[in-house]
Structure 1
């Protein structure tokens, strides 16, 4: 215990030092240039101690891997093409335009689709021509619309060896991919110390964890150096050069697919979720081991939202204007946490080029699976809308659950400790 607390004390002191450095750069109340920190070499080799790494401020860093990808041939489901109606809404028109391009493209080749789609920020004039009431859209929505074609931001902090292993038997079985933001250190640390612990589990299966981040927003305090320190210490942060706003979560999904193909293509399964969920790692592994081969290869499971439709109230977080999208949503797994097969990654990445970015990431993911002809499978162990209030501190109730949402870091630590207590009788 003394060693553990010593390490925490060292990290706290280092973090304090970084805060002093950051705030010493503030002059006359002006926010410093938001340049992230370049980490020259961050690895996930758990047998090595973090090395001293040269750190320097940068504005952008080119992707480490710009070589073309070899992707499998793609077929888009006829059901998906019929499910999204053709009408005058902007997104619907963009989708069916891309589907026509898909019909004429050489989609049966293994050619990397990125050369078809270059980042061309939409001009406001173009948007105003296509969306007559765009002046009534919220400002963040307008920003989202301008960047809908930009899909390949550079990686600023990477973990290229996260899934590497010299032994084929030790390939990653389950990767936890957790959406997070700069200022959520406590949440990440609670995940690291509980259900997101990396290592070898029953039957020798390997579990790894990464946290997915974009750049902090312009009005947020500059935590770049703290993030740099955290990345060096824990080797589990991936940071891309785009603003980490709610409407950019779909972009985060897309670039994560690409990162997986580059760095973790052999992972058997992926758990994608938020940093404020509580997951039952052993129950998840037990469920994955119970699957038949056919189930495992096409897995997409969680708490399934069916018969959903856009919400038209601007005061609601999930607001979607009628002139932007018109029609139902396909069934999808709630974005708080869901599981899918690693086998599907190249197909998901490929098909995501032909589906315009949508401002709600779990809906977008459901669209991608629907386009591949894969229907989500409901699992009662996923409780993304939480459980009864009187059961939320009951460790025995959680033994049969795979996920609950939402939990504070303190609740996560307490629940994990109680579930693994030798005194617990269920």
Structure 2
């Protein structure tokens, strides 16, 4: 009994000890739980504050829209910015640039043209007759006046100096588009190419690379092509004459108004501002001014391939220059560099008969100048 009593007494003491400990643990548990809950609430509030402040600062940053499309994923209207190939699992790599996506087989970004899809592509235009020269004109969907002026002037002739010349217009999309009117316009003229990227000035690099993609996939047999802006005067006769000169390369050829040692503009108030995140070098490589440059038609496919690894920035002509540099190719000065001109200060019929390009102020100017240039009689006294 003594043992049992002793046992009973020992067990009773343990029971009392356990009963005294559990209430203390219960109180401590509630205290720690409340403290942890308070910490979580404070942490959540701090995260919200930190995440909202940079956004508001970014939105108020001067000209942030100048390059926002390179840093977000909204270049395509109502569609994801990146198209994932079903056979290639795409992963974000922490070592890549913010605007770059890496797959198991290639690296590409928002300016890689095969992320986008053609809505109108007129696949037959290069099959009926293989063109010697394709003129690709980037233009806003709503700018019908510019397209009509070109159709009545330098885009009118299909045979120039005995060669087939094709003029096509490259469009993106916007929320203001009248889709039916664009369809009717294309049914009438068969010269619109439209892709599903957002059509804006800041997306000209995308637009240019989509032009290159179309040329490489839909018109690879053409000898030469030209990217030319919609506000340009173009003397197609002089251009074809130039391209038919002996010694003009048939491959790896890019020419126009060459720009050397051009500094990158860092002023946030400039239309051509490029931040260091997009292009860190102080100068651009040699490039051709974007108003109008000519290239052999083997280059578009090379540009598309090179664009997988060349980080995009919002100066499209310099971007092509960077692709040339990465390809290890040199640009070529035109046989007569003075034929590629930028601005004219006054119309002169003799002068316009000798040049290849001029930037104009309006579609009406193009119509007026062209009408005068083509009137009977020699243009020069």
TM-score, normalised on structure 2? 0.70
In structure 1, C-alpha distance between the alignment counterparts of 2:180 and 2:299, rounded to whole Å: 36
Q: Determine whether 1:193 maps to 2:152.
A: yes
Q: Could you say if the C-alpha distance between residues 313 and 370 of structure 1 is closer, same or farther in structure 2, counting changes exceeding 3 Å?
A: same
Q: Which has the higher contact order (CA 8 A, sep 6+)?
A: 1
Q: Determine whether 1:370 maps to 2:328.
A: no
- SS of the aligned residue for 1:241 comes to strand
Q: Determine whether 1:254 maps to 2:209.
A: yes
Q: Determine whether 1:402 maps to 2:356.
A: yes
1:144 aligned partner:
70
**Which structure has the bigger radius of gyration?**
2
The answer (yes or no) to whether the contact 2:228–2:292 under 8 Å persists in 1 is yes
Cα offset for 1:353? 1.2
Q: RMSD value over aligned CA atoms? A: 2.2
Cα offset for 1:298? 2.5
Match for residue 139 of structure 2 among 134, 159, 180: 180
Q: Determine whether 1:215 maps to 2:210.
A: no
Cα offset for 1:134? 9.5
List runs of 5+ in structure 1 lacking aligned partners. 1-124
For residues 378-407 of structure 1, the C-alpha deviation after alignment (integer angstroms, 9 at most, x for no partner) is 3324545313x1xx3211101110100124
TM-score, normalised on structure 1? 0.63
2:290 aligned partner:
335
Output aligned runs, 1:112-123, within 5 Å.
none
Q: Determine whether 1:164 maps to 2:127.
A: yes
For residues 303-350 of structure 1, the C-alpha deviation after alignment (integer angstroms, 9 at most, x for no partner) is 111111211122211101234322110010000001000122222221
In structure 1, C-alpha distance between the alignment counterparts of 2:138 and 2:339, rounded to whole Å: 17
The answer (yes or no) to whether the contact 1:418–1:424 under 8 Å persists in 2 is no
Any runs of at least 4 consecutive aligned residues in structure 1 with deviations exceeding 3 A, and if so which? 132-137, 381-384
Cα offset for 1:359? 1.0
Tell me the matched-pair count. 285
Q: Determine whether 1:237 maps to 2:195.
A: no
Output aligned runs, 1:274-289, within 5 Å.
274-289=229-244
For residues 27-54 of structure 1, the C-alpha deviation after alignment (integer angstroms, 9 at most, x for no partner) is xxxxxxxxxxxxxxxxxxxxxxxxxxxx
1:302 aligned partner:
256
The answer (yes or no) to whether the contact 2:126–2:218 under 8 Å persists in 1 is yes
In structure 1, C-alpha distance between the alignment counterparts of 2:228 and 2:239, rounded to whole Å: 13
2:16 aligned partner:
none
List runs of 5+ in structure 2 lacking aligned partners. 1-50, 74-98, 100-108
In structure 1, C-alpha distance between the alignment counterparts of 2:277 and 2:358, rounded to whole Å: 35
In structure 1, C-alpha distance between the alignment counterparts of 2:203 and 2:229, rounded to whole Å: 14
- SS of the aligned residue for 2:250 comes to helix
